[in-house]
Every structure is written in C-alpha cells, then in structure tokens.
C-alpha cells in the first residue's frame, strides 16, 4: 500500500515539466509549490516512509558478496533479469526466459541502487514540504555514501551491469545502463535540497563531478555505445538519461543534441505508422514493454519541453508519432486480456493502470483531454486508497 502511495504521489508531479534554477526537470515544480502553499503538505504515508528512511543505513556497492571481475567492489554489478541456469547444461551459460524474473538479481547492486535513489527522493520531498533539516541531512548523507565517500562510493561506470553467467567474459551489457534510470527522479529530488544548509557546495560539486564522469563513460565506452545503438526501449532510456545528466552537469549542448536527434533516431524507427511498436510487441509482456517505452518517450518530451523543444508533436512523413503510439495501446484499456493479440504473460491489470498514467501525462502535456475517457475511471479506482491530500489534480 505505502509503496503504491509513494508512486502515486510522485506521479502527480511528473505530468508537466517545470524549471528550477535553470535545471530541466520531469517533475512539475509549479504544482509542488502550489501544493506546499495550499497547506495540504505531504501525504502522511509518504512522510511515514521518510521517517523510516531516517532510521535506515543504505546498502552500498561494497556490501555485495560477489566481487566483479575487475577485482574492485566499487564497480556496480547486477545480473540479467531474465537469464536462468540451463537445465540441459547446468554448468554452461545461462539461457533467456523473457519476462520471467530470476531473483538471483537480488543478491547484487540493482536493489540497493534503486532503494537509495527512492530514499533520497522521499527524504527530499519530506524536507521540501516540512522544511525540517533532519530529512535533508539524511538525504545528503545517503548521497555522500553512494557517490562521494571514497570507502563506499560507486564507481561511475556500468561495466558489470546486467551480467550473464557464462557469457561475455564476465562483462556487463548495454542493457545494464537502464539500471541507473532510478537516478532521473532522484536528480529532481536533489534540486529540492539546494535550499538546505546540509547540502553544501562541496556536496553539489561532488555530485556534478560523479555524473559528469558517468555521462562521459556512457558516451565513450563500448558498453555505453551498445546501449546507445539499441533499437528498442533501451535506446530510448539511454537518451533520457544522457539528456538529464548533461543538463545536471551544465552541458546543455549535449542535452540539446540528444533531444534534436530523438525524433529521427527513436520515434520514427520504433513506432510504425499505425502506432504499434514492433520490438516491444515481440516481447512476452508486450503491453508492459510498449507502455514502458512510452514512459521513457514522455519523460524525454518533458525534458525537451524545458529546453523549449517540442518532441511530442514530431511526426514523420508517413505518420509515425507519439500520439499514434498512445492511441494504438489505448484501445486495449478496459478490455480483457483475451482481446489483446500479443503476449502479456503477467500483470495485465497493473500494466493497464500504468498505461493510463501515460495517457494522463500526454493529455497534461498537450492541455487537451484526448485520452480522458480511457484513464478517468481507472486512475480514480487506483487512487481510492490514497490520502485525500494527494488529490491535487
């Protein structure tokens, strides 16, 4: 329940891009400011989560049992999500079972990275709404542990992200870079900390240095290039991350290049004239991955909008565009899974709700309720259990 409430709370503020201190953002700072001024404040459930975060010490990359082939535990390491031991060859390379999660991934760094980013985000929101420095102090402490403390910091690379036993000589894959997508919301949360005395100039510069190094690794390493050249949601997510990190470190020229190239590189190659996304529809969780890719696409639209670049209305000569992709998927909202002509081996109802949030974000971006009939009732249902003070639409 509380996990849902936190996700819903964040969703309320990522529907339109805002701007703070010249930083492009996905969160809507104007809406956050209005909610704070209105006196509604933060959800009690989110505040309770922040209070729990105060008592926790984050797990670091140094705490994992395995050591990467580099011999340096500071190097992040994760396992391929859908890769399993081969029953026919137990000592051989792992084999792929698309859509079926191997929970061996829980033994490495993916979970701790995501939890750290979520904790920082939650604590930052709690600080913003309460002005209580204890939340900022804890958020900053987590950031120092993960990014700056020489004894515990993560090295700014993903050389061992989403490794697969028995394959690629122990190195990671381009797919591993998607693990750091958790940093997108976290960076918006970090902007909220800048008014705190606990978040020093040295902290801010230390984070910029880390993300500048990570961005450089993304843009110059073979693994980074593998993800950049990916033709599906991984390539989309790479562009969003590179754009956000470039803006965070003050390299707006790089951010603009990714935004300006996005329509031709991603939209017109991944979306068909009828709105389908063939590479995502080929997955065993076709609706899930199609929605997942659109989430990244809309994130990029909000970042681009803050740079005065309109990606949402980009359209190819043969009609490929974001609205067509949303329209294609929207026809399955409220339908039984039996009417979906592709595979979706799990989470049918949950994925439909996630799709509705993207339809909602689209309408907010364009200020036109094109898709309201699809998401109105479903979002209302998913929000029944959350506190009334989150109803800030």
| Nearest residue to 62 via CA among 50, 75, 73 | 73
What's the pLDDT score for residue 292? 97
What's the pLDDT score for residue 10? 54
Q: Which of 182, 199, 229 is the last residue of a domain?
A: 229
Residue at 242 is within a domain: no
Which token pair is 43? Answer: 């959800």
What's the pLDDT score for residue 389? 29
- The angle, 0 to 180 degrees and rounded to 10, between the axes of the packed helices 252-262 and 233-248 is 150
Q: Which of 199, 229, 259 is the last residue of a domain?
A: 229
Residues 65 and 22 in one domain: no
Q: Which of 229, 260, 278 is the last residue of a domain?
A: 229
What residues have CB less than 8 Å from 293, skipping those under 6 apart? 232, 233, 236, 270, 277, 280
Which token pair is 83? Answer: 């890769």
Residues 2 and 80 in one domain: no
Residue at 241 is within a domain: no
Residues 215 and 299 in one domain: no
Which token pair is 28? Answer: 């809507």
Residues in a beta bridge with 96: 83
How many domains is the chain built from? Answer: 2
The count of C-alpha atoms lying within 13 angstroms of the C-alpha of 81, restricted to the half-sphere facing its C-beta, is 11
Residues 298 and 371 in one domain: yes
Residue at 102 is within a domain: yes
Residue at 122 is within a domain: yes
pTM above 0.75, yes or no: yes
Residues 338 and 224 in one domain: no
What's the pLDDT score for residue 67? 95
Residues 206 and 118 in one domain: yes
Q: Is the dihedral of CA 295, 225, 163, 278 positive or negative?
A: positive
Element (H, E) at 23: strand 23-24
- 282: domain range? 1-30+251-393
Averaged over successive runs of 10 residues, the pLDDT of the chain (393 residues) comes to: 48 46 58 75 83 96 96 96 92 93 91 97 94 98 98 98 92 96 94 96 98 98 98 98 97 98 98 98 98 97 95 98 98 96 97 94 94 88 34 25
Kindly write down the DSSP assignment for every residue of 208-242, as one continuous string. Answer: HHHHHHHHHHHHHSHHHHHHHT-SSHHHHHHHHHH
Contact 354, 296 (CB under 8 A): no
Residues 173 and 280 in one domain: no
CATH of the domain at 266: 1.50.10.100
Residue at 35 is within a domain: no
The count of C-alpha atoms lying within 13 angstroms of the C-alpha of 161, restricted to the half-sphere facing its C-beta, is 24
Helix, strand, or coil (residue 97): coil
């Amino acid at each position: 329940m509380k996990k849902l409430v936190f996700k819903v709370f964040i969703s309320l503020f990522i529907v339109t891009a805002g701007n703070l201190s010249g930083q492009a953002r996905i969160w809507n700072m104007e809406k956050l400011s209005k909610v704070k001024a209105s006196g509604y404040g933060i959800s009690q459930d989110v505040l309770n989560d922040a209070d729990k975060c105060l008592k926790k010490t984050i797990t670091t990359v140094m705490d994992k049992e395995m050591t990467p082939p580099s011999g340096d535990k500071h190097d992040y390491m994760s396992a391929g999500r859908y890769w399993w031991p081969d029953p026919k060859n137990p000592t051989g390379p792992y084999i792929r079972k698309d859509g079926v999660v191997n929970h061996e991934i829980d033994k490495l760094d993916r979970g701790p990275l995501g939890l750290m980013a979520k904790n920082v985000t939650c604590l930052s929101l709690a600080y913003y709404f309460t002005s209580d420095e204890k939340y900022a102090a804890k958020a900053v402490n987590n950031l120092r542990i993960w990014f700056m403390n020489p004894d515990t910091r993560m090295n700014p690379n993903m050389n061992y992200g989403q490794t697969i036993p028995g394959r690629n000589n122990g190195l990671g894959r381009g797919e591993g870079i998607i693990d750091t997508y958790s940093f997108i919301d976290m960076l918006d949360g970090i902007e909220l900390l800048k008014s705190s005395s606990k978040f020093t100039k040295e902290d801010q510069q230390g984070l910029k240095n880390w993300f500048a190094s990570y961005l450089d690794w993304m843009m110059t390493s073979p693994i980074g290039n593998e993800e950049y050249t990916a033709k599906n949601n991984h390539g989309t997510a790479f562009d969003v991350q590179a754009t956000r990190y470039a803006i965070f470190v003050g390299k707006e020229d790089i951010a603009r290049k990714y935004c300006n190239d996005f329509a031709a590189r991603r939209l017109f190659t991944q979306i068909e004239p009828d709105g389908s996304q063939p590479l995502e529809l080929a997955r065993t969780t076709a609706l899930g991955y199609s929605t997942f890719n659109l989430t990244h696409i809309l994130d990029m639209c909000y970042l681009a909008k803050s740079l005065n670049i309109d990606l949402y209305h980009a359209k190819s000569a043969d009609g490929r565009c974001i609205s067509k992709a949303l329209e294609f998927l929207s026809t399955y909202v409220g339908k039984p899974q039996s009417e979906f002509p592709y595979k979706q081996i799990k989470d049918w109802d949950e994925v439909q709700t996630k799709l509705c949030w993207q339809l909602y974000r689209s309408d907010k971006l364009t200020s036109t309720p094109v898709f309201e009939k699809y998401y109105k009732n479903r979002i209302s249902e998913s929000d029944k259990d959350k506190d009334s003070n989150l109803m800030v639409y």
